[in-house]
Structures are given as structure tokens and as C-alpha cells.
Amino acid sequence: MADKPVIVLYGNCHIGFTRNVLARLDVLTDAYEIWWVRNFKVNSSLKAGFDLNKLQRCAYFILQVGHWDTDSVGVGKELMDLLPDDCRTIRVPPLFLNSLWPFMTDDPRNRSDDLNTEGPYPNYLGNRAILQLMKGESDPDRVFDLYMGRDINAMVNLDRLHGINMAQLYGMDIRSDIELSQFIEDNFRDRRLFLSQLHPTGFLCAEIARQVIAQLGIVPADDPQLRETLEEVEATHGIGDIDAPIHPGIVEHFGLDWARGLQYRYFDEGFYDHDEFVRRYIRFTNVPEYFPARAMMNRSNWTEAERLLRLSIAKSPGSARFHACLGRVLCQQDRWPEAGEAFSTAIALDGGRDGYHGDLARVQLRSDPAAALHSIDAALAMKPADPELCETRLEICRALGDADAIARAEADLEQARDGQRWPPFLEPTGAIYGRYWLPKDGSGF
């Protein structure tokens, strides 16, 4: 590892996601170390703990242009000054789509803290039109009716706004080595490319990674592992844990068939249709107990975590993640029947999307291995060859005492471990340097 050349990716969350794609390709990880250095929400120096000696081995520097601290100031300038002469720089544009969210603004009601660093309604959910209506109308239902009745195109010339947005993106392309603006223009009406103004979906993340990898010129375009990885990326929800709702008038104006009847994610509280999401925003509805509950879980304070999670569930009973967290807290207290009920509720609420069948199977293993086998098979149907799930299945088969099933489960586990290609964690966690973006826990890949 110490003698390997290095690929450094310097940019925002789009580039962090790209780093994970690169780090899943054996042809790259066999030959290179792969880093991601954040260039947003930081104001620091490379002297803050970065291993500067590794920069002497930098073979490729993937730079996101037109962003914070990139070409001429801050950490980006320090990085570039230390690169070896033969290092190749690949420039990548930042991406955004304001056309679908024309009222983005800071909401004065929003407050952040150490546990929820963006606050319950960060600026990409802030809505200038709604806030303006609220100045003259105190009834939330009336505010909602007025907002829904507005002719958005009469308030904002959507085609002109979109033209300005695309002109900005084309300008970024000119400064970059890859071109993404035409891809966005060609696809945004037919495919969901952004979850909010700044956060792309898996479909767009795959295209970013595809073009970066093509620029590297190391991985053949027909490489099976590359093809498999990009297919997995396309299937992910995308970056971030909040989806910004799109006004129905904008959906109609641009003909966004994919947005009709869409369910929008709001943190771990659940998925809501447009109208419910907007009504919650007008009332500034959120569950402030959830983030402290997760902090208590991290500190193994199970009693306080349970109290906060039950308060969270009382306010948002439809959140599968809340019930699953409660199940894990109850497991820590050896309250297995209650934990099983919590996981069953989580499964019913999310349709099995987040793989809580595996949690339920681990609970059922203690009293009903046959039921546990059914649950773990359901989990593996959604996440085939997951090593943790395969390991649980082996435990269940051993509990059932079926020699043939045990042999198959052992072989499946060995194969899953051999095929595991999660990105290596090459940097310590922290606010500035390498972070394992979008882990395999359901928030991405």
C-alpha cells in the first residue's frame, strides 16, 4: 500500500460518491490508493493532519471546479501546489438544478445544532413563496391552499430560469474535462436526476462516475465489474436524506411524468407525498427527539434512547427507521419479544426496502429458527450475497441442525466474503478529510 500511487478526489458529495465507485473497482484499488478530500464546509489547512507525503505519489488529481476552496484559495490551492509535476488533473463540474425548485431560500425558523447540523428544514427546503404567504396569513391550511393555487410560471418564468441554470452548467463544462450539462438537459424531463437542487440521484451519480472513469483511461468501458457497479449506483436513491418536493405546477410545465405521485423522503421520519410534505413544512413539523436518540444509542445509553425513540414514534408513527432503531435498543436490553414486534412494524411500514428482515431474523433465532430462516431468506432476496446476512443464515441453519443446509450456507458465506467490495476506509473520519459517504446501511451504497 505504501508504494502505490494515489488518486485524490477533491470536491463535494458528488465527488465523494465517485470516490466510492472507484474504490469498488479491483483494477484501480490493486494499483492505487484512492482518497476523497472534502472542499465544502471547511476552512482549514492541510497542516491539520493530512499526510502530505502521500501527495508526492499523486498520479491523478480529480478536481471539482467552480466550488468552494478549489482553484485559487484554501485547501485546494495548497493541494495543487504540492502535486508532482507528472500528476494529471481531471476537472469535474459541480451540478445543480434550480429549475424545479425556484423558491429556495433560508428559512428564519430553521435552527441547527450539534446533532442536526443543517437543522430540520435546511435552505434547499426553504420556500420563499410560502414564507411570503405566511406573513399575511396565519392559518396553515389557508397558506397551503394559496400556495397550491398559485400559477408558478406567472411568478417565475420557468423556461427562462431553466435557460439560466443550463447556461451556468454549460459554463462549468467549459472549464472541465467532462461534460454533464447536455446529459442533464437531455434527461431531466424523463428521469429523476436530482433529489433537491444540489443532490443528484443514483442515475446521475452513475453518469458522473462513468465519465470520470473514462477520463482516467485505466478501466475498460466493457469491464464487467464496472458495469455491475454502475448498475448498482443507478439503482440507489442518491445523495442526502431529504428530498425537496416539486410543485405540481412545475411538474405539469416541464411534463415530468416521473414526478407524478412521487413520495419524498424527509430524514428518517418517512416518505410523504407532495401535499403532506408541504403541509408539514408550513407548520414546521419535525421530530427533534430523533437525533438525540441516535446520540444516546451511540453512547450506549439505552434507557434514554428508548424514551426518546418512543417520543419520536408518537409524533411520527409511520417512520420505519424509528421503529427499527427502537428494535435495536430493545435488543440491547434483552427484550426480544418487544424487539421482534418493533422490527415487524418496520418491515410492514417500508415494504422491506431497508432490509429489516435481517434484524427480525436475529431476534427470531433465539426462539423460532424456522421463522428466522424465512425472514433471513426474505432479507437475502433483497440483498443477495450480503456477508452479514449470509453469516446470520449460517447461524440459523446450525440451529436447525440441517447438515446439507449448513454446507450450502457455509459456501454462500465464503463466496459473499470473497466478493465483498465495499470501499476501503483509507482516511480517518472527520469534518475535513476522507469520509465513507453513503454507507451500505440503506442511505446509499
Same domain, 301 and 394: yes
Q: Does residue 143 form part of some domain?
A: no
Better-predicted residue by pLDDT, 425 or 397? 397
By percentage, how much of the chain surpasses pLDDT 70? 87
**Can you list the alpha helix ranges (DSSP code H) found in 333-384?**
336-350, 356-364, 369-382
Same domain, 212 and 300: no
Same domain, 350 and 211: no
For residue range 166-203, what is the model confidence (pLDDT) as tens digits? 999 999 999 999 999 999 999 999 999 999 999 999 99
Q: If pLDDT is split at 50, 70 and 90, which confidence band does 92 have? A: very high
276: nearest Cα among 291, 289, 264, 260? 264
- Residue the block writes with cell 443550463: 166
Whole-model pTM above 0.75?
yes
Contact call for residues 440 and 388 (beta carbons, < 8 A)? no
DSSP output for 278-329: HHHHHHT---TTHHHHHHHHHTT-HHHHHHHHHHHHHH-TT-HHHHHHHHHH
Q: Does residue 167 form part of some domain?
A: no
Q: Does residue 439 form part of some domain?
A: no
Q: Does residue 35 form part of some domain?
A: yes
Q: Does residue 424 form part of some domain?
A: no
Same domain, 225 and 302: no
| Single residue among 212, 234, 256 that ends a domain in this structure | 234
**What residues make up the domain containing 206?**
6-96+200-234
For residue range 23-72, what is the model confidence (pLDDT) as tens digits? 889 899 899 988 887 776 544 445 545 567 778 889 999 998 875 444 44
Q: What CATH number does residue 392 fall under?
A: 1.25.40.10
Contacts of 263 (CB under 8 A, 6+ apart): 271, 272, 273
For residue range 94-153, what is the model confidence (pLDDT) as tens digits? 999 999 999 999 999 999 888 888 899 999 999 999 999 999 999 999 999 999 999 999
Lowest-pLDDT range of 220-224, 232-236, 398-402: 232-236
At residue 443, the pLDDT reads 29
In this structure, the strands spanning 270-272 and 264-266 are: antiparallel
At residue 435, the pLDDT reads 30
Q: If pLDDT is split at 50, 70 and 90, which confidence band does 338 have? A: very high
Q: Does residue 443 form part of some domain?
A: no
State the average pLDDT over residues 400-425: 81
Lowest-pLDDT range of 31-40, 220-229, 321-330, 407-416: 31-40
Same domain, 303 and 400: yes
Same domain, 230 and 87: yes
By percentage, how much of the chain surpasses pLDDT 90? 70
For residue range 291-318, what is the model confidence (pLDDT) as tens digits? 899 999 999 999 999 999 999 999 999 9
Same domain, 211 and 298: no
| Single residue among 210, 234, 258 that ends a domain in this structure | 234
The C-alpha angle 150, 153, 157, rounded to 5 degrees, equals 145
Task: Note the Cα 27 to chain centre separation in Å.
Answer: 25
Same domain, 317 and 402: yes
Run of H or E residues at 443: none
Give 51: exposed, middle or buried? Use CB within 10 Å, 0-12, 13-18, 19+.
exposed
At residue 40, the pLDDT reads 61
At residue 440, the pLDDT reads 31
12: nearest Cα among 116, 95, 122, 114? 95
Burial annotation 59-70 (CB, 10 A radius, 16+ → b, else e) = bbbbbbbebbbb
At residue 80, the pLDDT reads 78
Residue 416 pLDDT more than 90? no
Same domain, 324 and 405: yes
Q: Does residue 295 form part of some domain?
A: yes
Residue 378 pLDDT more than 80? yes
Same domain, 294 and 219: no
For residue range 395-411, what is the model confidence (pLDDT) as tens digits? 999 999 999 999 999 99
169: nearest Cα among 89, 235, 96, 225? 96
Same domain, 413 and 325: yes
> Based on the structure, what is the number of domains in the chain?
2
Q: Report d(CA 20, CA 34) in Å as an integer.
A: 9
Q: Does residue 241 form part of some domain?
A: no
State the average pLDDT over residues 238-260: 95
Same domain, 398 and 316: yes
